[in-house]
Amino acid sequence: MTTVVRHFTLDGLVARAKRLAETGDRQLLGIAGSPGAGKSTLGERLVAEVGPTARLVPMDGFHLAQAELVRLGRADRKGAPHTFDANGFVSLLRRVRRLEPTSVYAPEFRRDLEEPIAGAIEVPPSVRLVVVEGNYLLLPDPPWDEVRTLLHEAWYLDVDAELRMRRLIARHEAYGRTPEEARGRATGSDEINARRIARTADRADLVVRLADPLPG
């Protein structure tokens, strides 16, 4: 299947998100893409533009704790699908989608600690648009396959491969890795994950590339 990439301005995507938020019922908008594509930045900008009736819920909050990754022998593959609590992520999205009468709390991932922090993101009943961003929102393998069914709309964020690689190396260096370690991580496990993620693009409602890429 040929994937059609559509070019958008940030304003165009903001307008689309606002229309989704104004449908009346709570809507879940997913932003998928490879590491370094700019998903978090785009999600933050959309939520800022929509305002207080929007919240960002990143998939990264469901990373397994480092101690658990070590116990399972998966620490060297951190960031791969089997290093997340996928069932927990699906359960949270179910709760968010059904609009409970009280706040739902989601975890966040702290890159400075390399650990998830529980209960860090409040999603109150007043929120009409929940922007969910992460690598594996479109993965067809159980239990990840349930994520796509819970999203009202899903975008796949496409970006130039060289730009994405530069962003990843810079990110790893910013969090304390040497240039050699940063390049090894970006071209190693990150790239393995990126190739897997790219194969899921055809499950999105929209494959988008920003005319002026946001910082990664």
Strand bridging mode 54-58 / 129-134: parallel
The yes-or-no verdict on residue 1 having pLDDT over 50 is no
The yes-or-no verdict on residue 5 having pLDDT over 90 is no
Q: What is the mean pLDDT of residues 63-71?
A: 96
Q: What is the mean pLDDT of residues 179-204?
A: 87
Residue 79 belongs to a domain: yes
What is the reported pTM?
A: 0.91
User: What CATH number is attached to the domain comprising 175?
Assistant: 3.40.50.300
CA dist list (Å): 124 to 95, 99, 178, 212: 12, 9, 41, 33
The yes-or-no verdict on residue 179 having pLDDT over 60 is yes
Residue 104 belongs to a domain: yes
Residue 39 belongs to a domain: yes
| CB distance 109 to 120 below 8 Å | no
The rounded distance, in Å, linking the Cα atoms of 155 and 191 is 20
The yes-or-no verdict on residue 48 having pLDDT over 90 is yes
Q: What angle do CA 193, 196, 201 make, to 5 degrees?
A: 120
pLDDT of residue 216: 61
Residue 53 belongs to a domain: yes
The rounded distance, in Å, linking the Cα atoms of 138 and 149 is 9
3-state secondary structure of 115: strand
Model confidence band, residue 215 (pLDDT cutoffs 50, 70, 90)? low
CA dist list (Å): 3 to 37, 205, 207: 17, 11, 8
The rounded distance, in Å, linking the Cα atoms of 46 and 80 is 26
- Asked whether the bond before 101 is cis by omega within 30 degrees of 0, the reply is no
The rounded distance, in Å, linking the Cα atoms of 123 and 107 is 11
Count of domains for the chain: 1
| CB distance 96 to 118 below 8 Å | no
Q: What is the mean pLDDT of residues 134-160?
A: 96
Residue 216 belongs to a domain: no
| CB distance 153 to 205 below 8 Å | yes
Helix 189-198 and helix 179-187, axial crossing angle in degrees, nearest 10: 30
Q: What is the mean pLDDT of residues 169-180?
A: 84
Residue 215 belongs to a domain: no
Which residue would you say has higher pLDDT here, 148 or 76?
Answer: 148
Two structure tokens written together for 134 = 């992460």
Question: pLDDT tens across 88-142, in order?
Answer: 999 999 999 999 999 999 999 998 888 999 999 999 999 999 999 999 999 999 9
Residue 144's domain comprises 5-210
pLDDT of residue 30: 98
| CB distance 164 to 197 below 8 Å | no
